[in-house]
Every structure is written in structure tokens, then in C-alpha cells.
Structure 1
């Protein structure tokens, strides 16, 4: 069963948890109703409810493999089909369930709100409004038709089905509250991190300018003064040599400034996107880089920048600190943007190093709706994994 549901592992943990709760509740209700049927309650209402529950279970079990490819959209759409089928089938068989089944038509909308685009949310709103109204109307009509039938059968069906629906709604509300609380805590933490990361970025920029371009410009001023003195003394050959050195130093400073500008925000990333920027970075890397890209669809600017700078930071660490001989960068665009950066370096113990760089990457990824996971141990290399769940939002950038 765990392997069958493994497709849900790629989803947001809260969504995967709600889907599992829904599956458990529906399975429990199906088993209870099947037991009642075998114990002698062989009635048409029981048979219809059983059939509806089994089909709803099948729809839920089909969603994990589709989720691997299409992400949260596939899981929530199949959940919607399952809920609507359960609502109408259950109401037809047992009209007394209509208050609960009307509520179930709204569950997919509540689940989907943090994960789907506005277009899908609007569609689910229509499903919730029209579906709940239709279920209530169907329940009233069927209640008149079935008024003369045995109340015992209806009581058995309600007793078997009601707990599952209540459990789903209760856990949905509980999960929504927990998610809001978690997001509130993350917001407070992210504000603190953003300030810390911005301060660290400014210090890094100041250090790079001081140790690089500033020192180069200072050396050039000394060279210019020496060349001036040589010219005044009539030593033209010596002055020409100094001018040649000055031209070389000038090129080096310009190169350093260009590299620094690329680190702030590379023009290639804005103009041609993540893959082109990574290809350029890989060509300039001092460590051999293999870039593996598949199923790529250009994401939003925010996600693109977050992924690029996290990968760049990991590549820089591999070159400066890991002693790596090669780096593998893997980028996947389906069902959502994800990447890994793996090196064969010396690795490290996370508890024994400063986590400042990783915190900066985590803050950048979190601001774009993503998450990072770092795997490393002394002697085993380092792997950074990044995930940006949700449907890709492509910018119109000409």
C-alpha cells in the first residue's frame, strides 16, 4: 500500500496528509457498510452506497500515479470526482444523508485553495455551489419517494457513512487551522531571515569589492604613478612596460566586476531563463559540471531566480570548500520545478559548520514557495535538493 500511495509523497505534506485521511475514512466506511450488508441488510440503498464508495475509493487510488506527473492538480481533481460521486450516489440511496453530502461537495474547494490556480478555484466554486444545491434538491425529492421504506436500513447506512464524512470535515478544518498557524510562524521567521540574509549579502558584496576590484584599482593607481615618473625621467621603454601591465590589470578588474554583476543578477537569467543561465555558469565553473535537464517549462521569475541562486551557491561551495572533482546538476520541470546539485567532494558534518549560507538559501527558496534539503556526511560528498511545488506560472517576457 505504501508503494501504491508513493505518488502523494511529491505533494505538499499537508495535502498528502489530508488525502490519506480521506482514504482511511472512506475505506473504513466501506468496510462497515460491507459488514452490515453481509449481516443481512441486503437492501438496494446499501448496495448503491457500497457501489458508490468502491468507485470513490478507486478514483482516490488512481490519483497517486497521476500525481507524479501532473502534481496537485491531478490529486485534487480526482478527489473532486470522488466527493461529487459520493455526494450524489449517497443522496440517491439514502436521502437522510443530504446535509452531509451537500457539505462534501465543498470539501475539494477547501482543500484546493492553497494549491491550485485561480481558474481552477473558480471552477471548484461552481462545483460547490451547484453541487450542494443539486444534492439538497435530490435529497428532498428522494425523501418523499422513500418515505414508506424501512427506517432501519436508512439508519444503518447513515451510521456507517456519517462518521467517515464527519472525520473528513473535522480533519480538513483542523488541517486548515494548523496550516494557517504554521504559515504565520513561518512568516515571522522568514522576516527575520530576510533581514539577516540581506545584511549578509551586503557584507559579502562589500568584502568582494574590497578584496577584488578595490585592490585592483589601488594597484592600478600605483602603476600609473610609476609610469608617470618613468616618463618624466625619459625612460620610455620602462614606462611602456608599465602601461602594458596597466592594461592587463584593467582587463582583470573589468572581469572581476562582470563576475560580481553576474552574481547579483545575471542578464542571461532574465533574458533567456534558468537553463541558459546554468549552461553559462557550468562552462565557467572551475569544477567540471554535468547539466541534466528534462521536462522543463520556464517557471515564474521569482521561482527561477530562487532556483538559480541556490544552485549557484551549491556550485560555489563545491568548488571552494568540497574539493570536488565533478558536480552533477539535475533539473526537472514536471510535475513541478525541482533540482539536485551533487558533488563527489569531502562532505561535511552539518553540526560542525556555520549554517549561515544554508539559511540564506532556505530563506530564498521559501520566499518562492519552495523548500531545500541538504544531504552530506564526511567522506560522502554533498547533495542539495530543491522543490518548488505547484503549477508553473510562466511570465510573458517577450
Structure 2
């Protein structure tokens, strides 16, 4: 069964779990109603409700082959069609179901809140309002014709249908509470992490300035003093050599400061985007870098910066610590932006090495709504993978 439903594996775990739960609830309701029908509770309304449930189930199953490419929107469309079929058909056959079907019309909007953009939510909100009002009106209109309906028909249909809706609504409420609790914990944790990462970044810049540009500038001041003394002593040839050295040192300091500024936020990333910035970084890398980029469309600035700096940090770690002879950087734009930095270096034991740089990378990716994974073992190289949600899921 897990294999048959693998089309939903690309969804957010919470949404995938909810869709599978909805499918299970529909199957249970169909089996219960079909069992009642076989046992002798045969009536036109039972047959219609049974057909409606099967149609709703087919709408959900129809999203399986489309989900890997189109993601959450296609699942929500299937859920909306399923709710509409269940709501209208169930109310027509059994008007007493109208309070239940009116509630059912709101489920697609409630499910969609964490996963889609505002225009999607507005459309689903219209469906919820119009759909719930429509099935309520249909129920009242049909109730006149069903006034003499046998009591057991309504009892059987409601008893079979109610658990499915109640189960889904209960999960939605519980899931919303759980998400809020997790977000609160993550907020507290991220505040601490942001402070730690910012302090580490400041210390890194200070160290780079102290060990690089500052030392060169001090050396240049000494060279200036020596050149002044040469000029005062009338040794113009010696002074000229020192001035040539100053010019060379000045160019090197400027180059070093440009490199430092590029590491803080490269202009190329802003002007031409992630691909151009990565190509420039790959050309300057000490370890040979192979870029494999496909299906790329420029993402939001926050996602682009997070992806770039994580890849840059991974390449820096490769050059400093891995002993690798080559690195492969893979970037994919569909169905969502993802990247992978893989080297053939010595790897390391995650339980022994302090993951200072990794914390900063995780914080950057998490701030952009993504996730980061590290795969490494001693002697087997290191792979860093990052994934970001689709643009419509980040709003």
C-alpha cells in the first residue's frame, strides 16, 4: 500500500499524512456503508451516498501521478473536487447530512493554509463560503421531499459518513496546535542560534581582517617609513624600490579586501543571480569544482542568498579540511530549488567534530524555509544537501 501511495511522498510530511488519513477515512466509510447495504439496508439514498464516496476516493487517487511534478496545489484541487462531490451528492441523497457536508466544504481551505499562497487561499475561501451555503440550501430544499424518509436510512448514512469528517477535522485541529507549539520552540531556538551565528560571523571577519589586511597595512606603514628615510638620506634608488614594493602591497591588499567583501555579499549575486555567482566562485576555488545546474529559475533573494552562502561555506570547508581532489556542485530548480555539494575527501565523524559552520548553514537555510542534510563518514567524503519549498508554498 505504501508503494501505491508513493506519489504523495514528495509532499510536506504533514500534508502527506493528512491526505493518507483522508483516504483511509473514505475507505473505512465506503466499507461500512457497503457492509450495511449487503446486510439488507438497501435504499436509493444508500446507493447514491456509496457512489458519491467512491467518486470522492477516485478524485483523491487521481492526484497521485500528478503530485511529484505539481506538488501541493494538485492535491488541494483533488481534495476540493472530492469535498464538492461528497457534499453535493451526499446532501442530495440524505438532506440530514447538510450540517456535516457544510463543514466538509471548509476542509480544503483549512488544509491549504500552511502550503499555498494567498491567491490560492482566497479561492479556497470562496469555495468554502459558497459551497457550505449551497449544500445547506440544498439540504433544506431536499428535506421537503425527504420528509417521509425511513429513519434508518439517515441513521445508516450518517453513522457511516460522520467518522471520516470528524477524523479529518480532529487531525487538522491537533496538527495546527502541534505546529504552533513547534514554531514557538523553533522561534526560541532560532533567536539563540542567530545570535551565536552572528557572533561567529563577526569573529570570522575580525580574524580575516587581523590576519590579512591589517597585517599587510602595518607592513606597508613600515615600508613607508623606510622609504622616507631613504629619501632623506638621498638614496633615491632604494626609495624607488620601496615605492614599487608599496604599489605591489597596495594591489594585494585591495584584492584581499575585495575577496572579503565578496564573501560578505558578492555584487555578482545581486546583479546576475546564483548561477553567475557560483560560476565565479568555482573558478576561484582551490579544489577543482564541477557545476551541474539544470531547470534553474531565479528564486527569491532570501532563498538565493541562503543557497549561495551555504554552497560557499561547504566549498570553503572542502578546501580547508577535506583533502579532496574534486567537488561536484549540483543545483536543480524544479520542482523546487535544491542543491548538493559532494566531495571525495576524507570525511569526518559528526560525533567528534564540532559542527560550528554547519549550524550557521542550517540557520541560513531554515530562515528561508528550507532544510539542510549532511552525509559524511571517515574515508567516504562529505555531501551537503539543501532543499527549499516551492515559491507558491512560501507565499
- Global fold match (TM > 0.5): yes
Change (3 A) 1:394 1:374: closer
2:292 matched to which residue of 1?
Answer: 292
> What is the number of residues matched between the two proteins?
395
**Aligned-residue offset at 1:101:** 1.0
Answering whether residue 301 of structure 2 is matched by residue 301 of structure 1, we say: yes
Structure 2 CA distance for aligned equivalents of residues 73 and 343 of structure 1: 36
> Could you tell me how far 1:392 is from its partner in structure 2?
5.2
Corresponding position of 1:249: 249
Name stretches of at least 5 consecutive residues in structure 1 with no aligned partner.
none
Moved more, 297-306 or 41-50: 41-50
What's 2:387 paired with?
A: 387
Contact 1:216 1:253 in 2 (8 A): yes
> Does the 8 Å CA contact 1:299/1:392 hold for their aligned counterparts?
no
Aligned to 1:277: 277
Match of 1:89 in 2: 89
For 1:255 and 1:153, the matched residues in 2 are separated by 83
- Could you tell me which residue of structure 2 aligns to residue 215 of structure 1? 215
Distance in 1, matches of 2:394 and 2:173, equals: 32
- Cα deviations by residue, 1:127-170 (Å, 9 ceiling, x for unpaired): 00000000111111222212223222222121111111110110
Pair 1:225 & 2:230 matched: no
- Work out the CA distance in 1 between the residues paired with 2:368 and 2:67: 21
Q: Structure 1 393/212 Cα, relative in aligned 2: closer, same or farther at 3 Å?
A: farther
Secondary structure of the corresponding residue to residue 340 of structure 1:
strand
Task: Look up the match of 1:181.
Answer: 181
Tell me by how many angstroms 1:393 deviates: 9.0
Higher mean alpha-carbon deviation, 299-308 vs 38-47, is at 38-47
Tell me the residue number matched to 1:7. 7
Q: CA separation of 1:331/1:64 partners in 2, compared to 1, >3 Å: closer, same or farther? A: farther
Mark the CA change 1:248 to 1:254 in structure 2 (over 3 Å): closer, same or farther: same
Q: Which segment drifts farther, 173-182 or 9-18?
A: 9-18
Name the residue aligned to 1:165.
165
1-structure distance, mates of 2:119, 2:249 = 57
Q: Give SS of 1:65's match.
A: coil
Partner of 1:332: 332
Where in structure 2 are there 5+ consecutive unaligned residues? Answer: none
C-alpha displacement of 1:335:
2.1
Change in 2 beyond 3 A, CA 1:394/1:9: closer
Contact 2:371/2:388 (CA < 8 Å) preserved in 1?
yes
Give 3-state SS (helix, strand or coil) of 1:369's partner.
coil
Task: Choose 141-150 or 169-178, whichever is displaced more.
Answer: 141-150
Q: CA deviation at 1:394?
A: 11
Alignment of 1:359-370 (within 5 A): 359-370=359-370
> Aligned partners of 1:318, 1:62: CA distance in 2, in Å?
45
Write the mapping of 1:105-254 to structure 2, written as runs, cut at 5 A.
105-254=105-254
Distance in 1, Cα, partners of 2:40 & 2:289: 68
Kindly indicate whether the alpha-carbon contact (under 8 Å) linking 2:307 and 2:386 is maintained by their aligned counterparts in 1. yes
Give yes or no for contact 1:336–1:392 (8 Å, CA) kept in 2: no
Conserved? CA contact 2:303–2:368, under 8 Å: yes
Measured on the aligned residues, the alpha-carbon RMSD in Å equals 1.9
CA contact (8 A) 1:11 1:389 kept: no
Residue 370 of structure 1 contacts residue 386 of structure 1 at CA under 8 Å; is this kept in 2? yes
Equivalent-residue separation in structure 2 for 1:57 and 1:309 (angstroms): 45
Deviation of 1:259 after TM superposition, in Å, equals 0.9
The answer (yes or no) to whether the contact 1:91–1:101 under 8 Å persists in 2 is yes
CA distance in 2, matches of 1:25, 1:366: 34
